[in-house]
Amino acid sequence: GGDHTITYPILQALVAKHGPVGLVHVDAHTDTGDTALGEKIYHGSPFRRCVEERLLDCGRVVQIGIRGSSYDPDPHKYCWEQGFRVVPAEECWMKSLEPLMREVRAQMGDKPMYISFDIDGLDPAYAPGTGTPEIAGLTPAQALEIIRGCKGLNIVGCDLVEVAPMYDVSGNTALLGANLLFEMLCVLPGVKTL
């Protein structure tokens, strides 16, 4: 739960200990907007604020599942200018993400990194309980490939955001979110799994 704004202060705290971190960011949106209704801090701006404060090691930022409408004719331009790797959802359709995650692991290396997972990265067929659903997203199996693909990395924190149970009478979004959080806990350094 919580909107994606929560990642911003979490990264401020982590960077005070670890320095700038790499980021695996799963989302339908890049969340690098500048302002909304005159506000600079909102759920669509956390990663722009993080760049401005040098919280991210920008050459180790990967955004996966990006898609949907935009207010900008070139919605990925800011991210590319910062050195982010943007993996649009259509590059993920109908395939395993294990090869992508091998590349991501190599990119992250052994330096500190963070996982930020917006539930709207998944297709709303699986996770309708969110405020900004976008069609043609990732599957739950791909979400597991991404999270499990981070095992062995120097993960210093993680989050799962934007679950809004009131938008999903089935409860499936909350169930999926809870399971993804459990999976993230299982890939933290030092955790023993079967």
For residue 69, the model assigns a pLDDT of: 80
Contact by Cβ (8 Å): 80, 63: no
Query: In the chain, what percentage of residues exceed pLDDT 70?
Result: 99
The per-residue pLDDT for range 162-173, each reduced to its tens digit, is 999 999 999 999
- What is the rounded CA–CA span in Å between residue 108 and residue 127? 28
Q: Are 28 and 118 in contact (CB under 8 A)?
A: yes
pTM over 0.75: yes
pLDDT band at 2 (very low <50, low <70, confident <90, very high): confident
Decide if pLDDT at 112 tops 80. Answer: yes
For the chain, what are the domain ranges?
A: 4-187
- Quick: pLDDT tens for 33-61: 999 999 999 999 999 999 999 999 999 99
Contact 88, 67 (CB under 8 A): yes
**13: confidence class by pLDDT, cuts 50, 70, 90:** very high
- Mean pLDDT over all residues of the chain? 96
- CATH classification code of 4-187: 3.40.800.10
* pLDDT of res. 121: 98
Q: Which pLDDT score, from 0 to 100, does residue 1 have? A: 67
